Amino acid sequence: MMKCKKCGIKASVNMRHHKMALCKEHYLEWIPEQTERFIKKYEMFKREEKILVAVSGGKDSLSLWDILIRLGYQADGVYLGLGIDGGVEYSHESQKLTEQFAQQRNLKLHIVDVEKEYGQSIPMLAEKTHRGYGKPCSVCGLAKRHEMNRIARDLGYDVLATGHNLDDEAAVLFGNTLSWEGTYLQRQSPVLAESNGLARKVKPLCRFYERDMAAYAMLSGIEYIYEECPFSVGSTSIYYKEMLNQLENQRPGAKLTFYLRFLEAKNSGLFAQPIAVEFATHLCQKCGQPTSAPDLCSFCRMIEKVSLEN
Ligand code: Q46
Ligand code: ZN
Ligand code: ZN
């Protein structure tokens, strides 16, 4: 029987990568303590700052919101209605669970429905713009970045927090390393500083394994959507995650080492050569967010194109 490292009773979670097992009570203390440590270490935000958490109804974003509230931060949520159906009415179900989570804890949740706001759901936009070869993910990613940033800025939040975990970060890193994407490698970080018109972005869960977040959500009684977005099936990032899991099975801790050593290498200047970062030099004439195009940003251009066709 595995015993809790702190109190010696039967452990509920065994973390081979940390060579540590904890009981429920100590696990539910340990995760927020560690999160606080990462927030301070990477200088993500201060106590007096207003945080906007991007919530999707999944285990990571709801756990993040829960942890920040437990730690006493001022954190509101924002949910983006994408209009994605799939077998489980993915968007509908995830919105319901997010609303329920906020109501039960008396938290403030902003809901933005892309279709109501722009007259088109994400799948409709993807179809009309023919972006993404049948998958709406590129349109979805563009819309999420644009809208999250817009809400954070318009409503006066200091920082936008997302629930990316270690598995997400390691998979992105793996992909960018395979093709040595210098610009992306340079930008991948637990904190992206605010820059002209873009909100500061932070990932407080970036050092937690996905299974540890699932354990946290389960043990703290958070009801979340188990299904992934139907469009994520067969994606490259899922393939990379599976590969990294195989490696992790053989060498517990490999994923964490891969990510942490990358951050260290970056800090010590591995990518410090001035890589030509393609950077926004203009502000979009419609929404005011930074863009490299002289008139409209990619999101506003897409919306304009689709409305002209209607
Ligand atoms: S990008 Fe693609 Fe995700 Fe959007 S359409 Fe679904 S899978 S939700 S992370
Ligand atoms: Zn214990
Ligand atoms: Zn714009």
What is the tens place of the pLDDT at every residue in 171-216?
Answer: 999 999 999 998 899 999 999 999 878 899 999 999 999 999 999 9
Are 71 and 45 in contact, with CB atoms under 8 Å apart? no
Are 17 and 255 in contact, with CB atoms under 8 Å apart? yes
pLDDT at 228: 87
- Residue 195 has phi, psi (to 5 degrees) of -140, 165
Check pocket membership of 136 for ligand 1, CB cut-off 6 A: yes
Q: Full-prediction pTM beyond 0.75?
A: yes
pLDDT value at 60 more than 60: yes
Mean pLDDT of 220-236: 92
Higher pLDDT, 288 or 130: 288
CATH number for region 42-272: 3.40.50.620
pLDDT at 139: 93
Q: Tell me where in the chain the CATH 3.40.50.620 domain(s) lie.
A: 42-272
pLDDT value at 272 more than 80: no
pLDDT value at 273 more than 90: no
Mean pLDDT of 123-146: 85
State the closest ligand 1 atom to the C-alpha of 138, by its place in the atom list counted from 1: 1
Q: Is the dihedral of CA 143, 144, 146, 150 positive or negative?
A: positive
Report the chain's mean pLDDT, rounded to a whole number: 92
pLDDT value at 276 more than 50: no
Contacts of 269 (CB under 8 A, 6+ apart): none
Taking alpha carbons only, the member of 272, 270, 252 closest to residue 261 is: 270
Report residue 275's pLDDT band, with 50, 70 and 90 as the boundaries.
very low
- Which tens digit of pLDDT belongs to each residue from 101-130? 999 999 999 999 999 999 988 988 888 887
**Site to substitute for ligand 1 among 88, 140, 225, most atoms within 8 A of C-beta:** 140
Report residue 278's pLDDT band, with 50, 70 and 90 as the boundaries.
low
Check pocket membership of 67 for ligand 1, CB cut-off 6 A: no
Check pocket membership of 232 for ligand 1, CB cut-off 6 A: yes
